[in-house]
Amino acid sequence: MLVKKMGIVVVLCCSLLVTVGCGKQSGSTEQQSSESAQKISSEKAKKASSESAQKASSEKAKKASSESAQKASSESAQKASSESAQKASSESAKKANNLIDSSLIGTWYGYNKYESKLDTINITGNKIITNGNVTELHLTSERTAADKALLAGSSTAGNSKVDTYKESHWGSFVSLHGEDGRKWLDVRGWYQSAGAGSYYGVKNRVINGRSIPVLTTAGGAGIWASQHFYQDKADANKMSDTMFDDEPSQN
């Protein structure tokens, strides 16, 4: 009987050892599986991160390349436009020199009664520079087909088709003969289709016993005098805003 009980105990012990061993083996397998899963997950994450970085780098490079190409194209267009404008200006200067009355050429000073200071006009070549603002004089024959279309009213100033440089700095001009023998230079905006222009004319005046040239600027349909300019600053200050009786004026 004792032997039989001992045998049962032995069997139970063996069974317990087998169960414990299986438990350890199962635990070890689960741990290995978890580590393997973590390793795979980590590798996938690294791969995904690498691919994302490569994609971002590629897109950044494409964007940079596109911006660089656009910038280069814009600079090239601006350079070409500038060179074209300079060439046109140079050719116009040669033509204008033969058409603008020589009496207008030079630097002139006129008293500005609204700002109590002297304004300066410099006329040279095909340019009228008023207080630093440049207007290039061009013949109407220089208008392109696009310019003529804009002038005809198919587009308006500020339209994207308008050449902004011409709009700001070009003026068409014609020479007119006044009733007093004075030669007027009539300047209009390059895209100006209606209205009066800005007039410039020189006439000799006897001031304090001296006969000196006086440049008159005028405007409006009646060529109304607006300001007088002198070749000497002292004369400009002395005459101030004096107007002459033989000139029509709205002032």
DSSP class of 246: T
29-60 pLDDT per residue, tens: 556 656 666 666 666 767 766 676 677 667 77
156-173 pLDDT per residue, tens: 555 557 888 998 999 999
The model carries a pTM of 0.62
Residue 164 Cα to chain centre, angstroms: 9
What are the distances in angstroms from CA 56 to CA 59, 60, 62, 64?
Answer: 5, 6, 10, 12
Site of tokens 């630093």: 132
